[in-house]
Chains A and B, each alone.
Chain A
Amino acid sequence: MREEPAARAPKALAGGPTTRPLGAVGRDTLAALLEVRDLHVTFRPDVRAVRGVSLSLDAGQTLGVAGESGSGKSTVALSLLRLLPSSAQVSGEILVAGEDVLRMNWGRLRAVRWADASIVFQGAMSALNPVRTIGEQIREPILLHDKVGTRAARERTAALLDAVGVPARRAGAYPHELSGGQRQRVMIAMALACRPNLIVADEPTTALDVIVQAQILQLVTDLVHEAKISMIMISHDLSVLADTCDALAVMYAGRIVEIGDSRAIMAEPRHPYTRALSSAFPAIGDPASRLAPSGLTGDPPDPRRIGPGCPFQPRCAEAFDDCRTRDVELWPAGSGHAACLLVLPDRARSASPTRGNLAQSGEAAS
């Protein structure tokens, strides 16, 4: 259900927060299911984990968020339901079905949690309570949010377990009695319990072996499409996201550096970081990708000390002088957006590059 984004004037938005959410997936409509506007998250004392993230999601759309650890992707996910520790400073707006999560009162927030949006956490072994049966844990949100009795809750639990491929009779089992793949299925069943409109899957397949990984991904994709649930999937594995999600957002150092239709991005990544990421996970069956050099040197920047200019510049193979001083934003690139000076029309670049296209610098001079 992917649509070409409606024609928009490619505004080069210089500085300041965006008034229109970028990375809108689907039709340009005011009734987006999820809208994040200029989200900033700072952990004490001065760790800026998320530095201005904006996106929006329609009903039934799937968005993949990719990035290394420390890019801020999990922080964004947790902030959607205001699950960050109270010491975190959060600013911006997060609109779930029009209501700002960050400004709701507690009662409303607790009602929204799980019923409107739920999360499939990574590491199911520690995300499940070890001393309660999985049946109890799935029933818990049902009894809390839906006004039903225990018997109805048990029936629904059995149906959910069935839908994810876990035998219903295992409802009395404890988490440690199940295999890793089964635990992950239980997490998915739990997330679906209250029929949310949005599911956030945070690294749902990390720590699973490849075959189970494929099964889980297929399960998630099928369930989400059947029930027309929107999904945000977070992973460091770009190829996984490309297969399962309509749209893709790549995060680096707390910002989105590229966003757009997933297939378009995989076919032609515009940001050097995306290029590096996609070559790190060769597409199976594509001989060319196996031969292409991959691997990024260096580490992501320290979130306490992010200076001016493009944060990716120190590790970028295509960086030039301007990259160190000019602030980057999400500019239109192809069918999506990318935060890289390279995507700007030649006229917008100034000064001679130390590396890069000599022909372009020749044009700039003339």
Chain B
Amino acid sequence: MSALTAPPRIGRARRFAGQFFRMPTAIAGVAILGVFTIAALTAPLYIHSSDLDVTQATGGQLAPPSRHYPLGTDQPGRSVLLLLIWGARASLAIGVIATLLAVVLGSAIGLLAGHYQRWLGRGLMHLTDWFIAVPSLPLAISLAAVLGQGATSITIAIAITSWTATARLIRAQTLTVEARPFIERARALGAGNVQIMVRHVLPNVAPLILVSTTLTVAGAILAETTLTFLGLGNPTEVSWGTMINEAYTGSAVSRGAWWYLLPPGIAIVVVVLGFTMTGRAIEHILDPRMATR
């Protein structure tokens, strides 16, 4: 591999895919994500607003699982299974959008901090360190509370508490990439700062951004469900967090209605595992030394 030119990308992608699909955890992770994404995207095809409307519920109140309602019903009598599938949309959407915001912000800061190494870089790194010093859940709670209940507030709150991990990672990688000879060559040929960062550094840190994204989504979904559970979400919207919240505030807990309590939590665990396994697999392939083995 010539150190002077950026390596060809098609061959690398193919090699990466080959390695990736040879790891059982990777396959499991991608399978999980695939199932949930498809379920979430196709839900409007078979779930109608009547299924979700509390006034049109037809099942018994908090009825245990039966043939017609495989996962039982909730307090007003809606099918828990349909709620679960519909809830995936909210949780996944918030998780992904918040992560995208966080990763874009984090990558930008990381890239700038790694590239401009003197006062701008050091300043940005100090800023990142100060942000890290503030515990994330109290900060997210405070932000969401002040911004008002709802999905938007939660999304912004999660984005603001999640960008630091990406920033540190991308900064470290930027420093590594910029130490390579081909960057010097580009500079000698007169490439400007923006050009170096965008055309040369960015493609080389992109895989790590992908890793960071998948791992951040895992944390974002956990954060979203926690914030929703604490009451900061929109109570009329159906999400996994609100389902557990209702189990908590309603009588589901005292009546032992496990079918209402278990499925959303299990769904969260499975989806988070899916993202984590996928992210770790990518990380392992990119740099086996960096992964936590």
Touch between A and B in complex, CB under 8 Å? Answer: no
B-to-A contact residues, CB < 8 Å: none
